[in-house]
Amino acid sequence: MNLQSNLTFLKKFFTQPGKNASIWPTSDNSAELLCGSVDWENVKTVLELGPGTWPVTKHIFKCMPASASYYGIEYDKEFMKLLQERFSKDQWTFIQGNIKDFATIMTSNAIPFPDVIISTLPNSVFETYPHLVDELAVYLAKWTVFRGITYAPELLLDVYKHIKPKVIAHTWKNIPPLYVHWVN
C-alpha cells in the first residue's frame, strides 16, 4: 500500500465519518487474521464488502485459488478509482454501489453464491441498514463463511442479532485495535 492511498483513507475519515470507522486502513496483521481463518482450498467465489484502499483485498488475492472469482462492493468513487487502477484481472470484479442495496447488487451483477464474505464495514453500517443482516443471513444459512471486523465486540450481538458472530481474534497491530469475528 502506498502513502497516497493511506492519506486518501485518512481524509475520508474526517470528511465522511461513519463510512470510515478508523483513521487508517486495516493493517496487514488484521488482514492476515481475517483471511487466515478461512479454508481457502475449495473456495470458488469471494465477496468483499468495502475493499476501500485494498489492504484486505491483497491478502484475499494471495489466499484464494487461482480459479476462484472475486467480487468487491465499494461505495466510495475515489476508492473505486484506486481499486480499478490497482487490479485489472478478469476474475476480479469491483462494483461501485451502496451496501444498502446489497440484494439488488448481487442480483443485477449476477454474482454467484459466495463461499466467503469478508467485510471491513463498520458496525454502524449494519445498524443503519438492519435489512443487510437479514440478507447476509440467507447466505450464511447455506454455510457461506463470513469474516468481519469490529472495534466494539460488545455491540456485535445487538448489531448482527440472529447470525450470532463469534470473536475469534484481537490485534493491537491496527489503528485503532480491532477484533475479527466470524460466522460458520
Q: Is the pLDDT of residue 119 over 90?
A: yes
pTM: 0.87
Neighbours of 65 (CB within 10 A): 12
Confidence of residue 21 (pLDDT cuts 50, 70, 90): low
Name the average pLDDT for the chain.
Answer: 85
72-89: pLDDT as tens digits: 999 988 888 888 887 767
Q: Is the pLDDT of residue 160 over 90?
A: no
Confidence of residue 177 (pLDDT cuts 50, 70, 90): confident
- Separation between Cα atoms, residue 37 and residue 74, nearest integer Å: 23
The closest of 22, 8, 118 to 62, measured between CA atoms, is 118
23-52: pLDDT as tens digits: 556 778 889 999 988 999 999 999 999 998
Neighbours of 113 (CB within 10 A): 12
pLDDT given for residue 14 in this prediction: 59
